[in-house]
Each structure stands twice: as C-alpha cells, then as structure tokens.
Structure 1
Amino acid sequence: MYYIIKMKINKLVFALLAALVLGACSSSPKVSPVPSIEEDAEPPQGPKYLEYSENYEVTISTPSLVVFNWHRDYYSGGAHGMQEKTWYVIDKKANETIRRSDVFKPGSEGQLQELIESALRKRDKLESYEALSSGVYFEDTVEITDNYFFSRTGVGFHWDPYEIAPYSEGIIEIILPYGDLRSLLNQKGLALAEEVQKG
C-alpha cells in the first residue's frame, strides 16, 4: 500500500513540476502537459522497490526554454541499487520538448560522434589512438544519446549506469563546449546556445 501511495504522490509532484516549469514564463495562461513528460510521470512497472527516491533539478531557465532533470535512485534487491537521470529541454512558448534533432544540423551525426568519443577518451585518460574498449567502455564506438541538455558552457550528453560502461562507473556525463559545436548546431540551436550563455 505504501508503495502505491508513494508512486501516486510522485506522479502528482512530477505533473505539478511540469506545470510550474512550463507556466512560469508561458505566454498562455493554460499549460498543456508535454507528452514525453506526461509519459515519464507514469509509475514504473515491474518489481516493487524496497527503496525509491527521486528529485528534480532545474538547471537553466530563460525566457525561451527551461532545462531540468529527473533523478531516480532505487533498490529492488540484489547486489546494489540503481540510479537513472532523464534530462528535459523544454520550449516554454510552444510547451514542447526540444529534441536533439531539433538543434543539430542534419548530417552532423558523424562529427558529433567524433567529439563525443574524444571527450569520453579524455574522461578515461585514453590516448586519441586507443580504442574506447581498452578503457572502461563496453564498445569501441558509442551511440549518440538523445538524453542531452544545454548548460552554460556547452551541450551535455548523459548515460546511465550500464548504458556504455559498467555500474562501477556510475552516471556518465560529458559537456561539449559551444565553440566546438558552432558548425554543427542549426539556427535554432545557435540561438538557444546564445540565450543560455547570456543567462
């Protein structure tokens, strides 16, 4: 019973957060839920958790967008608990999520992947000629994640434990500086980057 009540409260908190975040600077008095946020607010299915906690952090808020993350820690038995973090980049005026494909130019994936893999090598102190798998990563190439975010200094990319490396590495986040991304961001991406940097 406690689990069910707590999940209902969490869903309500998440819905209220979404409404507050979107409504803070919205030109429209009525705030409709963002579909992807509404879906994520559904209680997780599967085994009941022995422990579960979550928190929300707004990291960027400008007239045009808000960036926040939803961080969950849970334990359902076994050797260790688990943590997950989902990032949201929200267009306040349109009340919709801004996806990675909305801010990067078509065909920029190859160059973006090179920058990401270079940053991951730097994180793991690997030389440029060394394969990613010679460090902590599972594979020699890393798929570009859609779990991304804008920060004051660049565009960040996020992977939960087990996505690209063992649990012992924890959450992996890298930030690519805006200066390295100028040729890859489209007009919308450049405008958002400029707005975020101005604060």
Structure 2
Amino acid sequence: MTMNPLKLSKIIPALSIVTVIVFTGCQPKQDPQNNSATDATNKVDIPLIQAQVVAVKLPKQQVCLEDGCTNYDLQTVKTNQQWIDDYFINRMKKAEPNAFADLSDQQVKVPEGEPSLSESSTYVRFVGQNYNLATFAIHSYAYPAGAAHGMYHQEFVNFDLATKKHINVSELIKDGVEQELRDELYVANQNWLDEHNIKKDQLQVSDNYYYGVNGIVFVYPLYELASYAEGMSELNLPYYAAKEFIKAEYLPSLPKVPN
C-alpha cells in the first residue's frame, strides 16, 4: 500500500510535537524554592569594601555654651558604599548635635574668665569583611572638664552587604535561644568569669559584638564585668557552638571539621 506523500508530510510534524511533549514530561521537576534561592544568589552583587578614614567637616572645632567649651575631633570613613557613609554621619549627628550646629548667629553666654574645657572625640574605622559581612568600629572618648579621667567606648557595627542592613544582636541570634546562648557563653568563658566573681545569672548577652578569629566576640562596656583598669571585657563564643544559636546567613564562611 502506498501512502499519499501529502498525508505523510502532515504526520511527521505531528510526531515531532508528540516526541517533544514526551521528552519534556520526562524531565525531572525542579524545586521552586531552590530556583528562588539560586536566582537570589546570582542577583546579589556583594561589593568589596574600600574605606579610608577622613575628618568630618564641622562649623567649629570648639563649641562654647553656657556651661563651658568642648573641643570636638570627629573622624569617619569614606567608602565605596554611600549608604554606609551616611549611616556613620547620621550616628555622629545624633550623638553630638552641638558639634554640627552652627552657633555663630546665636547669642551664647560664655562663662567669664577661663572657661572649663571638655573633650569629645569619635573615630570610625573599617575592621574587615567576610563575603557579605562587613565590620566597622566606632571608638569614642569623652572627657568632661574637671573629671578624674575620661571615659571611652568601642562599638562594633556589622553590616549585611547583601541586604544593606545593620545586624544588631536581636537579628543575629535565632528566636527563643537567648537564654541558652547566655549559658553557652558562660561555659566557654567560665574560668575568667569565676576569677571576676560573676555568676551565670548575672551575665547578660551584650549587644556589642564582632567576628573574631575563633568565634563571635561579645564586648562589654567599662565597669560592667571588670574594673576600669582592665578595660572593656570580651567573651568569646566559639564558632562550633555559635552554629546552634546564630542565624546561618550571619555566620562567616567556615571550614568543615570533624565532630
């Protein structure tokens, strides 16, 4: 039996379509969540931070008010990320409003004779970066006129470069694990805490931290855990323990080691 060439030409394209449908149906289905995660990773462009310390331009370096004068020394960072630069300048403006205020046209009654002179300084520096995690430090010093000594503080500021967000401790740790984290932090530093007569129920998780070589380091203000002479105290939470309490996206990339 001889088939009509016209009919054959109509059948061949139809067979091709069926073949495509069959093979397409045999392809393994992809997880939509995995696709979303992959797409998100590919779309995120993590910048390499470049930073230098620069002086902040102020109307006056010395500001005099009715209770005396204050010398200001403010230095910040200039980076390749404008949102980071803005963050630190806004922090300084909020902490030291008098330093940024133009008081030249205001009638300020300066004390007669030799006015008392206070000092206030703030320095910002770039500490380091681990992929999407960037750490900066704010060092501040204040000496009120007539005080026995000045007070200093160092705050570490950690950013998620992927989301352009400041990672505070409440966002760093998983939900509902703060008590267990406190207990683990106490165990990891028990010798030092015992030497300073600090019991477990007296210890709190600090809101000041940075990424250390061997773990996440929680930093405490002067006098909170030790004397002024000992400076700011630091408690280390090893990375092998931190994985139980810290959100995965806020842990630095670590080598895999046997249990």
Flag the 1:80–1:45 CA change in 2: closer, same or farther, 3 A.
farther
Structure having greater relative contact order (Cα 8 Å, sep ≥ 6): 1
Residue pair 1:59, 1:151 contacting (<8 A) in 2 also: no
Per-residue CA deviations over 1:75-121 (Å, capped at 9, x if unaligned) read 21312111111110011232220122323211111111112233453
Over the matched positions of the two proteins, sequence identity in percent amounts to 22
> Structure 2 regions of 5+ residues with no counterpart?
1-59, 64-69, 99-115
* Mapped partners of 1:146, 1:160: distance in 2: 10
Which of 88, 96, 104 is equivalent to 2:173?
Answer: 104
> Structure 1 regions of 5+ residues with no counterpart?
24-30, 134-138
- Deviation for aligned residue 1:49: 6.1
Please tell me whether residue 68 in structure 1 is matched to residue 136 in structure 2. yes
What TM-score comes out, normalization by structure 2 length?
A: 0.55
Aligned Cα RMSD in Å?
Answer: 3.3
Flag the 1:98–1:166 CA change in 2: closer, same or farther, 3 A.
same
Per-residue CA deviations over 1:164-193 (Å, capped at 9, x if unaligned) read 44423321112211012122122213xx32
What TM-score comes out, normalization by structure 1 length?
A: 0.69
Residue 89 of structure 1 corresponds to 158
Residue pair 1:53, 1:74 contacting (<8 A) in 2 also: yes
Residue 48 of structure 2 corresponds to none
Provide the aligned length of Structure 1 versus Structure 2: 172
Residue 241 of structure 2 corresponds to 180
Residue pair 1:154, 1:193 contacting (<8 A) in 2 also: no
Residue 168 of structure 1 corresponds to 229
Which of 32, 51, 55 is equivalent to 2:123?
Answer: 55
* Mapped partners of 1:90, 1:98: distance in 2: 6
Letter in 1 for 2:123: N
Q: Which structure has the larger Rg over C-alpha atoms? A: 2
- Deviation for aligned residue 1:2: 3.2
Residue 143 of structure 1 corresponds to 204
Residue 132 of structure 1 corresponds to 198
- Deviation for aligned residue 1:161: 0.7
Residue 194 of structure 1 corresponds to 253
The SS at the match of 2:234 is strand
Flag the 1:183–1:2 CA change in 2: closer, same or farther, 3 A.
closer
Letter in 1 for 2:169: R
* Mapped partners of 1:34, 1:101: distance in 2: 23
* Mapped partners of 1:194, 1:110: distance in 2: 25
